[in-house]
Amino acid sequence: MAKHYDVVVLGAGIGALSAAALLARRSWRVLVLGQGFRPASYTYDGLPLARRAFNFHAAQSPAWGRVIVELAQSQTFRRRLAPHDPVLGVLSPGRRLEIPTDAAFFGREIDREFPGIRRVVDEFYAELARTCSLADAAFERDVVLPPGGFWERRETDRALASLPHLQETSGGDLLAEFSRDHPYRGVVEIAARFASDLADPIPPFALARLHGAWIRPVRLARGEEELSEFLVERVRAHGGDVNLGERASSIAHRGGKVTGVLVDGDDAPTGAPFVVSDLPTAALLDLAPGFAPSRRAMSQLPAVHPRTWRFVVSILVHDRGVPQPLAAESFLVPDAPAYTVHLQRTKGPGDTTLLVAEALLESDSRGKVAAARERVLATVEQFLPFIERHYLLVDSPHDGRPLWDFREGERKSVDRTRVRTSGGSLEAEPMPVQWDADPLQLHGLGAEPLRTPLSGAFVLGRTTLPALGQEGELLAAWGVARIITRTDRRKERMRRDMWSKVELG
């Protein structure tokens, strides 16, 4: 083997890049391959469009705090974060609610839109604050989540023992004080559903954690791209190699253990005893030709399959077409069966605004996806009157249909061959997935274990702790980095010594 690394990371999600940065910092030689990664944005004619909606929900999580402290970047990264207010808005027929950072203003909003439930809402947010405070303390612990063997489970059980609502099922009492059909339930549940990687139902503890993440109001100026660039920079700063445009075509193995990966275009495998990926376990094992896991090993894995798909439409409009009070993060909740839409508002070039509209589809059938663009736009137009008069560009990376250009006053269809030249795709791109798992692990928070049946291969993507969304990916990344680090006692000692030198804030 001409080249050799200690760890090869396949994928560029927040978990994969965080694990890569941590291991590089701990003196492991790391190679990151994008494995089909596409940047969060693309352009047409110099104008911005988005592949994904992104909100850094985990920015205030101790899971992320531990990463940036170990990377000695906590103060530097905090300067990148900016507050936004209101935190989010929820629009439904006849109702418009904003959740601001100011408690008095929020109280007036509740009294105006939901008279008579102020006490119930106050008690709910007091319980939410208590739950999130205890969760912060638990997630600061250096444990493996989800745990594997006996000692890991014992350690994790101790760390999580104080968490409320963890033992409750989806019918738990987190929202018990609200009547079953009260619309404020929807405010809590819809926000959590869009932040989770688990399809409904979301466990009560995860519901509290995800809604709590929405109301911690910070954002990155350039969103996902800024976060990815930060982590890639950290990997390279500590001697790692990052090639996001490359992929591994197969994983080399011998005797049930990883020995390396074959990078597309290479004649010989790149050696490595560990492979880490944000793919689901089945997709990772598909890259290992000739590997036949035992029936027992496969029977211990949960059955994981996609159930909901995230469909995104980019809408570039004139500033004057967007109401000034519209929050940076909004949920548009029409009457069924119209799509509920998560709408992000960001500043575009000049006098333009980019709206990124995200809907959850219950099917990825060709007919469903082909009609989704119009259905998403119908919801947006219902709540933002006359916005269609101000359209400049409308496109979705997921339906394979032409981009719509309105800049000359009428809709003009632009072939995707022209979109591809500026970072778009010729074909429809896969949609991000929300997962179902049977059985769920760790009180409904976890699905697939970090270790796979192929020794030396690990997963840390959205199928490991799907109920917790981004925070779940970061917790999984920390767990995988810890497992790998402990295989080398010298590097583990170096890490312990390093903690006496890095910043403690």
Q: Topology of domain 7-74+220-302+439-498, per CATH?
A: FAD/NAD(P)-binding domain (3.50.50)
Domain ranges of the chain: 7-74+220-302+439-498, 99-216, 305-420
Amino acid letter for position 396: S
Q: Exposed/middle/buried for 142, CB within 10 Å: 0-12, 13-18, 19+?
A: exposed
The CB density around residue 268, as the number of other CB atoms within 10 Å, is 12
The CB density around residue 342, as the number of other CB atoms within 10 Å, is 23
Q: Exposed/middle/buried for 493, CB within 10 Å: 0-12, 13-18, 19+?
A: exposed
Please tell me the CATH code under which domain 305-420 is placed.
Answer: 3.30.70
Q: What are phi and psi of 311, to 5 degrees?
A: -105, 130
Q: Which of 469, 215, 213, 194 is nearest to 340 (CA)?
A: 194
Alpha carbon distance 290, 381 (integer Å): 53
Q: Which of 68, 454, 421, 503 is nearest to 275 (CA)?
A: 454
The per-residue pLDDT string of the chain (505 residues; one tens digit each, 9 = 90 and over) reads 568 999 999 999 999 999 999 999 999 999 999 999 999 999 999 999 999 999 999 999 999 999 999 999 999 999 999 888 888 999 999 999 999 888 899 999 999 999 989 999 999 999 999 999 999 999 999 999 999 989 999 999 999 998 999 876 554 578 888 988 899 999 999 999 999 999 988 999 999 999 999 988 788 989 999 999 999 999 999 999 999 999 999 999 999 999 999 999 999 999 999 999 999 999 999 999 999 998 898 888 999 999 999 999 999 999 999 998 899 999 999 998 899 999 999 999 999 999 999 999 999 899 999 999 999 999 999 999 999 999 999 999 999 999 999 999 999 999 999 999 888 899 999 999 999 999 999 999 999 999 999 999 999 999 999 999 999 999 999 999 999 999 987 766 665 565 555 544 4
Alpha carbon distance 14, 56 (integer Å): 10
pLDDT at 195: 96
**Do 7-74+220-302+439-498 and 305-420 come out as alike in CATH topology?**
no
Alpha carbon distance 321, 481 (integer Å): 47
Alpha carbon distance 344, 326 (integer Å): 10
- Sign for the CA dihedral angle at 60, 207, 96, 432 comes to positive
Q: What are phi and psi of 91, to 5 degrees?
A: -115, 130
Indicate the pTM of the whole model. Answer: 0.94
CB 65 within 8 A of CB 74: yes
pLDDT at 171: 47
Is the preceding omega at residue 201 within 30 degrees of 0, hence cis? Answer: yes
Question: Which run of H or of E encompasses 353?
Answer: strand 352-361
Residues 6+ apart with CB under 8 A from 201: 170
The two tokens of residue 303 are: 């059955």
